[in-house]
Structure 1
Amino acid sequence: MLNGSGFLSLFKKISANLLGIGGAQVDTILDESTYRPGDLVTGKVHVLGGEVAQEIDDMDLYVMANYQLDSGYSQSIKIYSHRVLHRFTISPSESRSFPFQFQLPIDTPISLRTCTVWIKTNLDIKYGLDAKDNDQIVVQPHPWIEKMLRVMGQRKFELRIVDSEYAPFLKRRLPFIQEFEFRPDFSCKYIGKLKEIECIFFLEEKGMEILLEIDRKAREVNDWKSSIDVWVRVHLSDLDLQRSEDELANLLDQTIEAQIKR
């Protein structure tokens, strides 16, 4: 039979495991808050023991992002996971820190407009309620993407919308893509010829593929054929991407004009 202190100890253990009350707490501290795709993410996971000893099966970090479903609802997805530690016991009130490092995936979406990226820490507590922590990060464009965004601006295209959209038909690693929608401003030479251009950037180890959706305006009234959207794939090697912005802008012009004339 349990005495008073034994019953209290059992109650604390049940509360910590099933309800999380008085259980272990986790707090992840990142060395930086801003990254680019491919950067090394470093930091420490701090674990503080609760009122009872608890067995931890796994400690994992997840890179999380959100994207839009066809229904219009937002969906969160794990785009990368990193195991910090496998199996350990945290004693009551014990404080422990675990360093980590991992590479941010090259296809991590950029933190623009509605797109959010965060690091989720999960402490898998054996027979208990998991402890979690979420830390939002800012993902800046990869230098190659940043360069192409400047090229679009040089040709007087205005970035209007950035969306992460569900696109399993492209059969990429992730079930969504990040789409950049540009519209010609009043000083753009394509005003009156194009409605918009949508760009999707696929980073690769030695270059980048750009998928362009060129939305042409009809050349004549009721000329619906010339207003059909055109999809174009452009592959730029790492050597191509070392070219000047003027040279890349000229390449963009050649691609657009070839579609306008079709």
Structure 2
Amino acid sequence: MFTLLTNLLKSGAPNVDLSLSQQSAAPGEVVTGQFHIQGGRKSCKIKRLECTLVKEFEDGKTETVEEVTTILMSRVIGSEEKIELPFSYLITDKLEPTATSFSYRLHTNLVFAENMSRKDHDELVIVDNRK
């Protein structure tokens, strides 16, 4: 019963989607895009938006590479309201190029009332430009 109630509450919650201008980049390049937040069936208070770069290995393990951004908010998003926030991330030289054994993903987490959250995952390919 508790699980059913939790799923019903989540289905009406706001959603987040990171839309990137490009899916691959080389060290020294800036990846840009926008966070799109879509309100749910009822108003909800948003606490923060977090985005983290992680490395995912073939065996399913993940490793946090770095925190990309955290946007603190104390804002109520209305039913069916849309919010767009800019995104930019500089690919540094310390990131090794994507390989067959691992990939990079940007994990976006929208945290709102009672610490419930919505997640989004976007693949980012790091290419080697030193050829």
Shorter-chain TM band = 0.7 to 0.9
Identity of paired residues, percent? 20
5 Å matches for 1:145-184?
Answer: 147=131
Is 1:77 equivalent to 2:60 in the alignment?
no
Aligned residues of 1:60 and 1:121 also touching (Cα < 8 A): yes
Cα drift, residue 27 of structure 1:
1.0
Corresponding position of 1:30: 20
Q: Do residues 126 (structure 1) and 116 (structure 2) align?
A: no
User: Which stretches in structure 2 are left out of the alignment for 5+ residues?
Assistant: none
Does the 8 Å CA contact 1:27/1:46 hold for their aligned counterparts? yes
Check if 1:99 corresponds to 2:86. Answer: yes
* Equivalent pairs, count: 126
Instruction: For residue 116 of structure 1, give the secondary structure of its aligned residue in structure 2.
Output: strand
User: Which of residues 70, 78, 86 is equivalent to 2:72?
Assistant: 86
| Residue segments in structure 1 that go unaligned for 5+ positions in a row | 1-11, 148-262
Structure 1 residues 101 and 64, CA, compared in 2 at 3 Å: closer, same or farther?
Answer: same
TM-score (norm 1): 0.44
Letter in 1 for 2:21: D
Within 2, Cα distance between the matches of 1:138 and 1:78?
A: 16
Q: Which has the larger radius of gyration?
A: 1
1:54 aligned onto 2:44: yes
Partners of 1:133 and 1:126 lie apart in 2 by 18
Residue identity matched to 2:113: K
Q: CA deviation at 1:67?
A: 4.2
Distance of aligned partners of 1:137 and 1:63 in 2 relative to their CA distance in 1, 3 Å threshold? same
Structure number with higher relative contact order (C-alpha < 8 Å, ≥ 6 residues apart)? 2
Taking a change above 3 Å as real, the CA distance of residues 42 and 103 of structure 1, as seen in their structure-2 partners, is same
- Kindly state the Cα deviation for residue 41 of structure 1 after the two structures are TM-superposed: 1.5
Contact 1:37 1:105 in 2 (8 A): yes
Aligned equivalents of 1:74 and 1:142: distance in 2? 27
Greater strand percent: which structure? 2
TM-score by length of structure 2 reads: 0.83
Distance 1:84 1:65 in 2: 19
1:135 and 2:122 correspond: yes
Q: CA RMSD in A?
A: 2.3
Provide the residue aligned with 2:54 in structure 1.
64
Structure with the higher helix share, 1 or 2: 1
Aligned-partner Cα distance in 2 for 1:84–1:42: 16
Equivalent pair of 1:57/1:86 in contact (CA under 8 Å): yes
